[in-house]
Chain A
Amino acid sequence: MTEYIYLSPEWAAEAHRRLQAELTPEKMKFVTSSMVTYYKNCPDGKDRALFYRFVDGVCSELAITIGEPPEAEFRITGDYETFAKISKAELGSRAALMGGKLKLQGNMVKALSLSAVVDRMNKVLATIPATY
């Protein structure tokens, strides 16, 4: 089984492929939105942003950038270590938010309505074999 380096271009391509293949527009509630997860203090010392765009429930864009994150409807910021723990199921994303380890920017009311969708995305991403 291929193992991907977390947040590498290869990992991103695989993530995009799996999101498109495994999440139907129905499962994604036909959502149209964009989100950035902003990883501070990656192992190489850089900050990275993982950008997703969904149009009518289809993941139309997934990209990783280095440095300042692109604009998106929602931004979740945290340390790389925190996100890595969430991906390895060592930490729940809600617990990380409630404990202040992650910072959400964007309309909280809309975010609440999308939380189930984001959970589904995270479950798919967690299935990607990865090294951290």
Chain B
Amino acid sequence: MTQTAHDPYFIDFPARIRRIQDNMAQHGIDIYLGSRLRTLSWTLDAFCPWRSFVVIPSDGLPTAFTFVIDASRVGDDSWLDPDHVLGYAPMGGQDQISAISDLILSHLKGGKGVVGIESGMAPYLPEGNLTHYEYECFQAAMPEAKLVNAHDLVDELSLIKEPGEIMRVREASRQVDIGHQAVREAIQNGGYHGMTETEIGGLAAYAMRKAGSEWEWSFTGGNEIASGYRTGLAGGACTPASRRQLQPGEPFMVDLHAMFRLCLGDHSHNYLLAPATPRQRWHAQNFVELVQLTLKTYKPGMTPSSLADELLAFCEEQNFIEYMVPGFEHGIGMMGDEWRIGMNDGPFPYWTNPDHVYQPNEMLICAMQYACPEENIGFRYENPILITESGCEEMSKYPLGIEEV
């Protein structure tokens, strides 16, 4: 996709590549083989749903490889020219191992050098680390090369968001707000009677698509919709919409996802379908107050653990700590970057470091889950936030509250 400097969503991808190359030089990496979805989005500006790779030499343009059936489309979406977006296929010389190792070897004198790869683990299925089998095949195809894990080079650079990236998240969040508005209009005045969770997910998707959203991107089931007991499943931060019909007297949770130029909108809003009981309202008030406090608490210098300590103390004081899932955020960035926050430097490898110190222009999803399974009630709040100099900016502007409809 052609970008212009006047485009409010402009991201300087060639500059990103040069920064990776500078990092490679500092770390003695001769060539970088990226395979994670987050790296592909961040370097190519194209959605790569098939197994894909990006080869970044020490200077010059990178080359992307994807399944040949999608290579033309990826090339069309990407800022790279068609000669730098190649397809692989099960043919002699064109399978992914041969095609990629041939290119890498053409950059390594005598086939010797250091190849940075992306290895690790993730609870997130589409992370895209190099598999053990791929590693063995690449090593066999490049026996004189040394393969070293180097994903930190990209993670370090993608941590602080650029203005164009922030603008893209703002737009994706605006689209999510339109989805919420469409849901609100559909369910009000008894409109929810006879509607199913899947139907709610679909009408929200239609509204967001009309507003320009590319995809209800979440791998957790697109738009996540939960009603009744499903809102209160213990730890339940993943509720793909089911065929369950919405019922009066139940809680109802709507977690919408939009994507704009690979940047992600993600906002959850909650309802009580009338008539609501005083006890349901008590739960709702607990949750809203906690979200308000959380949004006031995020600022540079905070860490996930200091934030959790402060907020859980509030939950304890208000006597609802047993209903809170003790986590308040997950990562966010371009497609594929949606769970771990910060670098891989915590006590548990490849999980968020609880002592990660937030800095201005980091983004994360403020994410909270309240669940009371014994009363079949729960709520979820998610909203991309930008850490600012003095606090945080909420990207979704949909009014906070648990509405009774």
A residues sitting closer than 8 Å to B (CB atoms) are 77-78, 96-105, 107-110, 112
Contacts A108-B87, A108-B99 given; indicate if A77 touches B71 (C-beta within 8 A). Answer: no
Q: How far is the CA of A109 from the CA of B71 in the complex (A)?
A: 7
Is the beta-carbon distance between A104 and B93 smaller than 8 angstroms? yes
**Residues from 68 to 114 in B contacting A, C-beta threshold 8 Å:** 68, 71-72, 75, 82-83, 85-94, 98-99, 102
Q: Which chain B positions have C-beta within 8 A of A100?
A: 91-92
- Point out the residue from B72, B90, B93 that lies within 8 Å of A109, measured CB to CB: B72
Is the beta-carbon distance between A107 and B83 smaller than 8 angstroms? yes
Give the dominant DSSP class at A's interface. Answer: mixed
- Point out the residue from B82, B87, B93 that lies within 8 Å of A103, measured CB to CB: B93
- Point out the residue from A96, A98, A99, A109 that lies within 8 Å of B82, measured CB to CB: A109
B residues sitting closer than 8 Å to A (CB atoms) are 68, 71-72, 75, 82-83, 85-94, 98-99, 102
Is the beta-carbon distance between B91 and A97 smaller than 8 angstroms? yes
Say how far A68's CB is from chain B's closest CB, in angstroms: 15
Q: Which chain A positions have C-beta within 8 A of B98?
A: 103
Besides the known contacts A108-B87, A109-B75, 20 further A-B residue pairs in the complex with CB atoms under 8 A apart: A77-B93, A97-B91, A98-B90, A99-B92, A100-B91, A101-B92, A103-B98, A104-B92, A105-B93, A107-B86, A107-B87, A108-B68, A108-B86, A108-B89, A109-B68, A109-B72, A109-B86, A109-B87, A110-B82, A112-B68
18 A–B contacts from the bound complex (CB under 8 Å): A77-B92, A77-B93, A78-B92, A96-B92, A97-B94, A98-B91, A99-B92, A100-B91, A101-B92, A104-B93, A104-B94, A108-B68, A108-B86, A108-B91, A108-B94, A108-B99, A109-B68, A109-B87
Across the interface, name the chain B residue whose C-beta is closest to A104. B93
Say how far A49's CB is from chain B's closest CB, in angstroms: 15
Across the interface, name the chain B residue whose C-beta is closest to A105. B93
Across the interface, name the chain A residue whose C-beta is closest to B68. A108
Across the interface, name the chain B residue whose C-beta is closest to A103. B93
Across the interface, name the chain A residue whose C-beta is closest to B72. A109
Among B89, B90, B102, max chain A CB count under 10 A is at B89
Is the beta-carbon distance between A102 and B68 smaller than 8 angstroms? no
Q: How far is the CA of A53 from the CA of B85 in the complex (A)?
A: 24
- Point out the residue from A103, A110, A112 that lies within 8 Å of B92, measured CB to CB: A103
Across the interface, name the chain B residue whose C-beta is closest to A108. B87
Q: Which chain A positions have C-beta within 8 A of B85?
A: 109
Q: How far is the CA of A20 from the CA of B86 in the complex (A)?
A: 31
Among A77, A78, A110, max chain B CB count under 10 A is at A110
Say how far A98's CB is from chain B's closest CB, in angstroms: 6
Q: Which chain B positions have C-beta within 8 A of A96?
A: 92
Say how far B96's CB is from chain A's closest CB, in angstroms: 11
Say how far A115's CB is from chain B's closest CB, in angstroms: 11
Q: How far is the CA of A108 from the CA of B90 in the complex (A)?
A: 11
Say how far A102's CB is from chain B's closest CB, in angstroms: 5
Q: How far is the CA of A15 from the CA of B77 in the complex (A)?
A: 41
Q: Which chain A positions have C-beta within 8 A of B75?
A: 109
Q: Which chain B positions have C-beta within 8 A of A99?
A: 92
List the 10 closest A-B pairs by CB distance, nearest first. Answer: A103-B93, A103-B92, A108-B87, A97-B91, A100-B92, A104-B93, A109-B71, A109-B87, A102-B92, A108-B94
Q: Which chain B positions have C-beta within 8 A of A112?
A: 68, 87
Q: How far is the CA of A32 from the CA of B96 in the complex (A)?
A: 27
Q: How far is the CA of A103 from the CA of B83 in the complex (A)?
A: 19
Is the beta-carbon distance between B68 and A104 smaller than 8 angstroms? no
Among A100, A105, A107, A110, max chain B CB count under 10 A is at A107
Say how far B84's CB is from chain A's closest CB, in angstroms: 10
Q: Which chain A positions have C-beta within 8 A of B99?
A: 108
Say how far A24's CB is from chain B's closest CB, in angstroms: 27
Q: How far is the CA of A54 from the CA of B98 in the complex (A)?
A: 27
Q: How far is the CA of A101 from the CA of B90 in the complex (A)?
A: 12
Say how far B209's CB is from chain A's closest CB, in angstroms: 29
Q: Which chain B positions have C-beta within 8 A of A98?
A: 90-92
Across the interface, name the chain A residue whose C-beta is closest to B87. A108
- Point out the residue from B68, B88, B102 that lies within 8 Å of A105, measured CB to CB: B102
